[in-house]
Structure 1
Amino acid sequence: MTYSTLTRVAARLTLLVTGAALIASCGGTPTPDESGSDTTATAEASGDACAPEIAEIDFGIISTESQTNLEELWEPFLALMSEEMGRPVNSFYATDYAGVIEAMGAGKIQIAWYGGKSYIEAAKRSGAEAFAQTVDSDGSKGYYAHLVTNVDNPIVSEIDLEAGDGDRYVIENAAELTFAFNDPNSTSGFLVPSYYVFAQNGVNPNEAFSELIFAGSHEATAQAVANNQVDVATNNSESMSRLQKTDAEAFEQVQIIWTSPLIPSDPIAYKSDLPDCLKEEFQDFFYNISDESVLGPLDWSRFDEAGDEDWNPIRELDIARKIEEIKNDGALSEDDKTAKIKELGKQLEELQ
């Protein structure tokens, strides 16, 4: 994975923490061997088909927008996946990101599309194992978090839009503003702005704003801004592109006022305890899919091979956020701060 500004910032945290502390066996679809024998027929006849106990696949999809919109995007993809894998692949939609994380932990789904933050939570709590990374239709492997407001909100005139310094205005005027994150397990809708906008500046968003809400999805935060229900909200570059296609009128009402460093694009992860042969079938499908008719609506061009460590920059950023929050926690003694930061420092060292 190409290391972004986000990655480099997170990688420098080891020094900061130190200072603070001082204060398969089966495979995919077989092909005939050189003698012309059909190994697929042989395997089926002998009862050796891959994971016959898993008659159907359940695929988890995080709630970046309404289920109706997600179904339109994902059902053609899953239909092709069903056809290629030779067993039904069912969609699993939840009302929040945690629902997909918990479903994998409970064995209700075998595979899922996650964001970076929801993936590291699923890897820690639910046995998720990343094996592929999405690649955008333009060939990039990253996206950006945004802060957005309504184009007619008076605060727009107070911000240098070209410089994108809306984060500074939000920090300085938080007490007079209403604010919306989308989901606490979202990378761009919570983790990234929590660190870069708030934690680095010693601001606790739970206390800073006149009102703070979690709207649920990126679509919901965009609509809340477009309809003047909140002053400022989080969003991201991918979801803004989607909004332009699905609701051009709302899109025209949304003004970007801050943009983050580059965020690694999303993982596809299966449950780590699946049979190796089924993991190989998943890999074969994702590494080789090239059908633009099903990838295009998702704004993807392909999936690249990836591994769990490719999302260590997200883990490092999450640790950075926690460290800054501890530093700024007036309820903690200096000894407690030192102990907590030291423990986080150990976690950070393990990622290096």
Structure 2
Amino acid sequence: MNRRIALLLATTATSFALAPAAQAQTKELTFTFISTEASSNLKTAWQPVLEDLSKAAGVPVKAFFATDYAGVIEALRFNKAQVAWMGNKSAMEAVDRANVEVFAKVVGKDGNEGYYSLLVVHKDSPLKTLDDVIRQRASLTLGFGDPNSTSGTAVPGLFAFAAHKVDPLKDFKRTVRANHETNLLAVVNKQVDVATNNTENTHRFSLTHADQASQFREIWRSPMIASDPIVWRKDLDEGLKARVRSFMLNYGKTEREQVILQNIGYSAFRPSTNAQLIPVRQIEIARERAKVEADVNLAADERQKKLAELDARSSALDREAK
């Protein structure tokens, strides 16, 4: 009797020990996307990639389209999605809050591993330069990006506006937030005077709205931004990670795959790590620094303390980048 009980206990213990491994095996993969344009457009462009990924990974791959960047971050955080295409700013937030890491990045259709933030206006607008926008801002309507957008908010917020001591949320006649596609349409339809955008999305716009692509023009371009990262949850099954990585890094080698990627605006995927997020972290520190320096309510010693803390963070990132 004792031997039978011991055997039963041993079998039960073994079953419990194996349970976590069994639960860790992913039966389905959800790939989520930042909302740079209408979800129907994104689905049309990315669906062939997801179908090919499903075959290579050996599990069904479905798409999840959130209404904003925060929705993508939360989907990753609560394991409603396991892989995502993101911008650097939203990826930074996801890395800090959602148990993910960067494993790949996109390569532009022209082979560049970067892109540019833009300010665009209607083709007939009297605005010709960033200086025109800065000077006339009190009478202008600005189309700004999602709060977690790199090219729609973070980069122009620093290089176009903070550099001229302008608050894009307070100093314009009106500021409205929207995704890249909606901002371009607002410019084309003269609903806003100027809007943020980027070189990748203007290419996409020329494909999805060919009849309107000539109705806007660029008046400012940022320094180059690192190309968009692809992230996955750290706790994703290691075997599945290997298959996903192999698929992504080898995709685009056939003529058919090149046509698919070019339609999205890319030519390949390449390996990457969280290190590619360091520049956007430095941008965020610079924006915080500008706010501290401009805060007239801070006592001098408190201001110096905050600035010293920000400088220490910046120096630590510099060391990490080397």
Q: Same fold (TM over 0.5)?
A: yes
Match of 1:285 among 243, 247, 251: 247
Aligned counterpart, 1:78: 50
What is the CA–CA distance in structure 2 between the aligned matches of 1:119 and 1:245, rounded to whole Å?
A: 26
Corresponding residue SS for 2:101:
strand
What is the CA–CA distance in structure 2 between the aligned matches of 1:169 and 1:60, rounded to whole Å?
A: 38
Aligned counterpart, 2:169: 206
Counterpart residue identity of residue 98, structure 1: A
What is the CA–CA distance in structure 1 between the aligned matches of 2:296 and 2:174, rounded to whole Å?
A: 21
- 1:313-344 deviations in whole A, cap 9, x for unaligned? 11111211111122122333333322222222
Corresponding residue SS for 2:35:
coil
What is the CA–CA distance in structure 1 between the aligned matches of 2:30 and 2:275, rounded to whole Å?
A: 25
Q: Does 1:345 align with 2:308?
A: no
Indicate if the aligned counterparts of 2:151 and 2:197 stay in contact, CA closer than 8 A: yes
Q: CA separation of 1:188/1:279 partners in 2, compared to 1, >3 Å: closer, same or farther? A: same
Aligned counterpart, 1:327: 293
RMSD after superposition: 1.8
What is the CA–CA distance in structure 2 between the aligned matches of 1:134 and 1:182, rounded to whole Å?
A: 21
Indicate if the aligned counterparts of 2:168 and 2:175 stay in contact, CA closer than 8 A: yes
Match of 1:252 among 198, 211, 214: 214
Aligned counterpart, 2:111: 139
- 1:153-195 deviations in whole A, cap 9, x for unaligned? 233xxx2xxxxxx221111111011101121111110011000
Indicate if the aligned counterparts of 1:58 and 1:108 stay in contact, CA closer than 8 A: yes
Indicate if the aligned counterparts of 1:175 and 1:210 stay in contact, CA closer than 8 A: yes
What is the CA–CA distance in structure 1 between the aligned matches of 2:151 and 2:277, rounded to whole Å?
A: 14
Match of 1:241 among 196, 203, 209: 203
Indicate if the aligned counterparts of 2:24 and 2:237 stay in contact, CA closer than 8 A: no
Q: Higher Cα Rg: structure 1 or 2?
A: 2
What aligned pairs does 1:108-257 form with structure 2 within 5 A after superposition? 108-155=80-127, 159=128, 166-215=129-178, 217-257=179-219
Counterpart residue identity of residue 136, structure 1: G
- Give ranges in structure 2 of 5+ residues lacking alignment: 1-18
Report 1 or 2 for greater relative contact order, CA contacts < 8 Å, sequence distance ≥ 6. 1
Aligned counterpart, 1:298: 264
Match of 1:336 among 302, 307, 317: 302
Residue 50 of structure 1 and its aligned partner are, at CA, apart by 9.1
What is the CA–CA distance in structure 2 between the aligned matches of 1:50 and 1:115, rounded to whole Å?
A: 33
Q: CA separation of 1:271/1:177 partners in 2, compared to 1, >3 Å: closer, same or farther? A: same
TM-score by length of 2: 0.88
What is the CA–CA distance in structure 2 between the aligned matches of 1:116 and 1:261, rounded to whole Å?
A: 14
Corresponding residue SS for 2:307:
helix
Counterpart residue identity of residue 299, structure 1: G
Q: CA separation of 1:65/1:280 partners in 2, compared to 1, >3 Å: closer, same or farther? A: same
What is the CA–CA distance in structure 1 between the aligned matches of 2:93 and 2:301, rounded to whole Å?
A: 28
Corresponding residue SS for 2:295:
coil
Range with bigger deviation, 142-151 or 196-205: 196-205
Aligned counterpart, 1:316: 282
Counterpart residue identity of residue 280, structure 1: A
- 1:71-114 deviations in whole A, cap 9, x for unaligned? 11011110110111110001010000111011111111111001
Counterpart residue identity of residue 230, structure 2: I
What is the CA–CA distance in structure 1 between the aligned matches of 2:297 and 2:209, rounded to whole Å?
A: 45
TM-score by length of 1: 0.80
Counterpart residue identity of residue 105, structure 2: Q
Counterpart residue identity of residue 71, structure 2: G
Q: CA separation of 1:134/1:240 partners in 2, compared to 1, >3 Å: closer, same or farther? A: same
- 1:188-228 deviations in whole A, cap 9, x for unaligned? 1001100011111211122211101112x100000010001
Range with bigger deviation, 286-295 or 92-101: 286-295
Corresponding residue SS for 1:251:
coil
- 1:127-152 deviations in whole A, cap 9, x for unaligned? 12001011112111011111011112
Corresponding residue SS for 1:82:
helix
Corresponding residue SS for 1:154:
coil
What is the CA–CA distance in structure 2 between the aligned matches of 1:110 and 1:315, rounded to whole Å?
A: 23
